[in-house]
Amino acid sequence: MADLNLSASPSSGGEKSKTPAPKGPTTGTPKLRMSPAGDHSPVSRTAGAIVGVVSVVALALAIFLSNPSAPTTQGTGTGTGTTASSVTPTGHTTRVSVGVDGMAFTPNHIEVPVGDRLIVDFTNSGDQRHDLVFETGVSSGSLAAGETKELDLGVISGDVEGWCSLPGHREMGMTLHVQATGASSSSSGTSASGSHAHHGHDHGQDAAAGPATPTALTDYAATIDARDPVLPPATNETERHYTFTVTEQTVNVTSSLTRESWTFNGDAPGPILRGHIGDTFHITLVNNGTMSHSLDFHAGLVAPDNVMRSIEPGQTLEYTFVAKNAGIWLYHCSTAPMSMHIANGMFGAVIIDPTDLDKVDREYVMVASELYLGADGQPADASLLSALQPNAMAFNGVPFQYKAHPIQIKTNERVRVWVMDAGPNLATTFHVVGTQFDTVWREGAYVIRGGGSGGGWGQVLTLGAAEGGFVEFTPLEAGHYAFVNHALSLAEKGQLGVFEVTD
């Protein structure tokens, strides 16, 4: 791969010789700018939304005016198209209890005679926060596990769709279908549900078109500090204490696009921890978010049942493990859908040194991850995520950041790069253009060691989702050495950086 049109040279907007500013040791502070909403595009989106609302209101008003004797629906939030045509209230109320089992409502299908008033007693009997939202606008709001809410859907004139609106939950199967029985063919029921059928799929259309171009991503990366890729050596304590605080916030992706990010300690990836075999890690997880979250440390050998459980906003959890084996181990939120929680930023790595690491001059860490950008300000697009179709890719959380801010090294320096594929889905084949690896360590063992002394040479470190390892190499000549995911369509989406080598 000689040149790649991935242009190893820094972006025009970048500060060419800027060395990424050093960052605190193992649990450094976030360097990424976390600004709230972007610039004009939200304004125009809001304007568009207002126009939309106005036209809906106008339509509803027109329907009401043309049929002033239409029954007034009871309860809140109803009164959209579903009840527009003439349905005679029966005066009877149907009452149904709905619970949650895993990522499904039970029951997920309710039959109600047309004209009945429907009341749903919704209990979140699941193991994390959920809500129940109906297309009519009736909503339970976010309920903690165990909480109950009565929902009044008013007089039922046609089918009504419901779902959980927490990111990814609907796509996991949390839907509830209310079927109006005994409806005449002239009832608005079918047309109403038909007109709403595509409503829920609108979101994501922007994303399919690609909301952030490589140029926009690179230009934005040039305006922020790169996350420090330097991996400091492990400290000597054997009892290690960390606090992981979960927050949810809006972050910029480009100068005009934001996304909702869920993080450990405010940054994605979360803290990179490093220790030795035999160390004990004491982690306190604090959930300062609005939904349920959790932690899964691949570095530990413990029964998942207790330590990996989801906790509520405001709760804390103690998670202790002894690092028995060397590796670069993934950690991540394991609350369903896990793909969504990881795609939104809830991942990081724990490095446990092998006992026979060679001496190097420079040591870096790169955590590879996928971005499924949706509409402005939204979490990962669930449709793209389900289809394994990321529209941006990153090393250490930000696409193209080390293209915009090349990493400075010297000729003949020996370099080690630890690589973790946080996924959530795709493989990373890590390659440094212009070098060969004399050492490749992958998932607990040296695959190649010794280079010229008979150990062979390598060109990529291949990692599936959640795999990790490191490579060692020595650049011999000054120049710009791109490092990429050699699945090149993914490099072109942002998994591309540059080592700038000088004499």
**Beta strand extents in 107-158 (DSSP E only):** 109-113, 117-123, 133-134, 148-155
Supply the minimum distance, in Å, between the C-beta of residue 346 and Cu ion: 5
Q: CB nearer to Cu ion: give 83 or 335.
A: 335
Supply the minimum distance, in Å, between the C-beta of residue 262 and Cu ion: 6
Supply the minimum distance, in Å, between the C-beta of residue 378 and Cu ion: 16
| Stretch touching Cu ion by CB under 5 A, among 149-157, 198-206, 297-305, 327-335 | 327-335
Q: CB nearer to Cu ion: give 186 or 306.
A: 306
**By C-alpha distance, which of 174, 168, 155 is closest to 103?**
174
Q: CB nearer to Cu ion: give 346 or 350.
A: 346
Task: Tell me how many degrees the CA angle 293-252-171 measures, rounded to the nearest 5.
Answer: 45
CB count within 10 Å of CB 193 equals 20
Q: CB nearer to Cu ion: give 118 or 371.
A: 371
Query: Which residue is at the shortest CB distance from Cu ion?
Result: 333
Supply the minimum distance, in Å, between the C-beta of residue 282 and Cu ion: 21
**Whole-angstrom distance, CA of residue 241 vs CA of residue 406:** 33
Residues that bind Cu ion (rule: CB under 5 A) add up to a total of 5
| Stretch touching Cu ion by CB under 5 A, among 153-161, 253-261, 326-334, 377-385 | 326-334
DSSP annotation string for 306-329: HHT--B-TT-EEEEEEE--S-EEE
Supply the minimum distance, in Å, between the C-beta of residue 337 and Cu ion: 10
According to DSSP, residue 229 is labeled -
Binding mask 61-100 for Cu ion (x = CB under 5 A): ----------------------------------------
**Whole-angstrom distance, CA of residue 424 vs CA of residue 467:** 11
Supply the minimum distance, in Å, between the C-beta of residue 293 and Cu ion: 3
Q: CB nearer to Cu ion: give 240 or 341.
A: 341
- Return the residues of window 343-402 that contact Cu ion according to CB under 5 A: 346
Supply the minimum distance, in Å, between the C-beta of residue 341 and Cu ion: 4
Supply the minimum distance, in Å, between the C-beta of residue 335 and Cu ion: 4
For residues 437 and 258, is the Cβ–Cβ distance under 8 A?
A: no
For residues 293 and 310, is the Cβ–Cβ distance under 8 A?
A: yes
Our finding on whether 166 is near Cu ion (CB under 5 A) is: no
Amino acid 47 reads A
Q: Which two tokens stand for residue 30?
A: 């976030």
> For the chain, what is the total number of helices (H) and then of strands (E)?
9, 27
Supply the minimum distance, in Å, between the C-beta of residue 119 and Cu ion: 32
Whether residue 424 has a cis bond before it, omega within 30° of 0: yes
Supply the minimum distance, in Å, between the C-beta of residue 248 and Cu ion: 9
Binding mask 332-351 for Cu ion (x = CB under 5 A): -x-x-----x----x-----
Q: CB nearer to Cu ion: give 84 or 333.
A: 333
Supply the minimum distance, in Å, between the C-beta of residue 419 and Cu ion: 23
> To which H or E segment does residue 105 belong?
strand 105-106
- Return the residues of window 103-132 that contact Cu ion according to CB under 5 A: none
Q: CB nearer to Cu ion: give 346 or 366.
A: 346
- Would you say the C-alpha torsion 397, 340, 131, 51 has a positive or negative sign? positive
Specify burial of residue 179 (Cβ count, 10 A radius: 0-12, 13-18, 19+): middle
| Stretch touching Cu ion by CB under 5 A, among 328-336, 401-409, 437-445, 446-454 | 328-336
Q: CB nearer to Cu ion: give 253 or 346.
A: 346
**Whole-angstrom distance, CA of residue 494 vs CA of residue 167:** 24
Q: CB nearer to Cu ion: give 285 or 366.
A: 285
Q: CB nearer to Cu ion: give 259 or 405.
A: 259
- Return the residues of window 286-325 that contact Cu ion according to CB under 5 A: 293
| Stretch touching Cu ion by CB under 5 A, among 8-16, 331-339, 422-430, 482-490 | 331-339
For residues 422, 428, 433, 434, the Cα torsion angle rounded to the nearest 10 degrees is 100
Q: Which two tokens stand for residue 154?
A: 């008013």
Provide the 3-class DSSP secondary structure of residue 62. helix
Q: CB nearer to Cu ion: give 138 or 380.
A: 380
Specify burial of residue 10 (Cβ count, 10 A radius: 0-12, 13-18, 19+): buried
**Whole-angstrom distance, CA of residue 439 vs CA of residue 464:** 19
- Return the residues of window 221-250 that contact Cu ion according to CB under 5 A: none
**Whole-angstrom distance, CA of residue 201 vs CA of residue 318:** 39
Contact residues for Cu ion (CB under 5 A)? 293, 333, 335, 341, 346
